[in-house]
Amino acid sequence: MPSRNDRYQETLDFLYSQLPMFQRIGPAAFKKDLNNIRSLCAALGNPERRFPSLHIAGTNGKGSTAHMLAAVLQAAGWRVGLYTSPHYRDFRERIKINGRYITRRQAVEFVDRCRPLFSSIQPSFFEITVAMAFDHFARQKVDIAVIEVGLGGRLDSTNIITPELSVITNISFDHMDFLGDTLPLIAAEKAGIIKPGIPVVVGETQAESRPVFLEKAAAEGAPIIFADQHFRAEEQEAALAHTTYHIYKDGQLLYDNLQLNAHGPYQYKNLQSVLQALEWLPVRFRVSEAQLREGLFRLRERTRLLGRWQVLGEKPTILCDSAHNEAGMELAMKAIQEMPFDGLHIVLGTVKDKDPGKLLRHLPPRAYYYFARPDIPRGHDAELLREKAAALGLKGRAYSSVRNALRAARRHAGPESLIYVGGSIFVVAEVVR
């Protein structure tokens, strides 16, 4: 009789090998409608209707924003479901309640129970995972769930929920083969999560996307507010464990020395979105200042946040980050230039369905590079990436794996050096812990 671990591995093998998974294979796994997820959830008794939810979309920052909201709501005493994607090391990272992963047994039981549905509906990997999350949150009777959009918004499998509040962090160029090649087109896809009468918080006011959001909100009768027009998070002190901010609302100091258990050049934007979202939550979910401070101070502990500006080692400092598009990489590299170090080493990999040139042009020529292909079918060939980088004046070598590239960086780096690992979530996934 197979052991529990064997049964769980069989379940994962089924999910990964029998079903298309966008994160691994790219465009072939993208579904153009919500029919499958609706059919699947209907057969499960529409679990998505049995708990309140928050829906988080955006090009960058939606994962961090979702984790922050979950952490603060947990600090307020709620039982909080959190659905995010993709995962780094463990499939179960996608489905958490108060920081605890769905158990292996629960994942196996869900797949076993639903196999006849999978045969008839033929859902994708992502559709099954979303349904598993909704079913788990309903069965475990969460007080509220924070649901992160996987890709886009309008056609994302999570978009069958009717949340208490929608949040759109920002708009930038990413997944343009699906979402469009202009910011207004991408914004229109993200705006697809705006529901009739449901308030929506937009994190950043951007000239090209603002009219799209205003028009969609007006058409749906949805109250809308732009967080950065009211909240300003001003960094006071940055450390790799906690970053301290003064928070201003409408020009007046609201919170001094608010400590966030996360670092990164973009977190102030996410924090502004979170603060506005918390203010616009239904009254029953409002939090106190003490709960806000406690939740943000213990963010990683409460939610098991991974891969965002995460320190993996010291002497040399090893830092990994999930920035994987142009806007995210530009911010990350600007922040790195401000950090004290003696020698910069960058372990870099990308996926082949994105133009690496848009990332490479934001990388510093004074660093030494270790190019590697992430271990997924979508991974970009390391030698080809090295050649493209060399044409832009970025010097380095190609390696057979991300781990080998990191080992080489450790050998060459001095104790005061900085090693940055990034370029793709899937590069980070191979080194994060």
**CATH number where 177 lies:** 3.40.1190.10
Within 253-319, residue ranges assigned H as helices are 267-280, 289-297, 299-303
Q: Are residues 216 and 93 part of one domain?
A: yes
Query: Which residue(s) pair with 348 in the sheet?
Result: 371, 422
| Joined tokens for residue 213 | 């959001």
**Where do we find the tokens 């030698």?**
383
> Long-range contacts: 241-249, Cβ < 8 Å, 24+?
241/311, 242/297, 243/267, 245/271, 247/271, 247/275, 249/275
What is the C-alpha separation between 80 and 299, in angstroms, rounded? 13
Q: Is 11 helix (H, G, I), strand (E, B) or coil?
A: helix
For 415, other C-beta atoms within 10 Å of its C-beta total 10
CATH code at 413?
3.90.190.20
The tally of CA atoms less than 13 A away on the side-chain side of residue 180 is 16
Q: Are residues 56 and 81 part of one domain?
A: yes
Range of the domain at 337: 310-428
Which residue, 283, 303, 323, sits at the end of a domain?
303
Task: Evaluate whether 191 touches 41 at the Cβ level (below 8 Å).
Answer: no
Q: Is 352 helix (H, G, I), strand (E, B) or coil?
A: coil
Question: What stretch of H or E contains 350?
Answer: none
| Joined tokens for residue 365 | 């020529």
In a domain, 318, yes or no: yes
In a domain, 189, yes or no: yes
In a domain, 433, yes or no: no
| Joined tokens for residue 152 | 């886009």
Residues (pLDDT < 70) of the chain are: 1-4, 18-32, 173-181
Residue 391 one-letter amino acid: A
Q: Are residues 381 and 366 part of one domain?
A: yes
- The pLDDT, as a whole number, for residue 23 is 45
Q: Are residues 319 and 286 part of one domain?
A: no
- The pLDDT, as a whole number, for residue 332 is 87
Q: Is the pTM of this model over 0.85?
A: yes
Q: Are residues 292 and 322 part of one domain?
A: no
The two beta strands, 396-399 and 368-372, are parallel
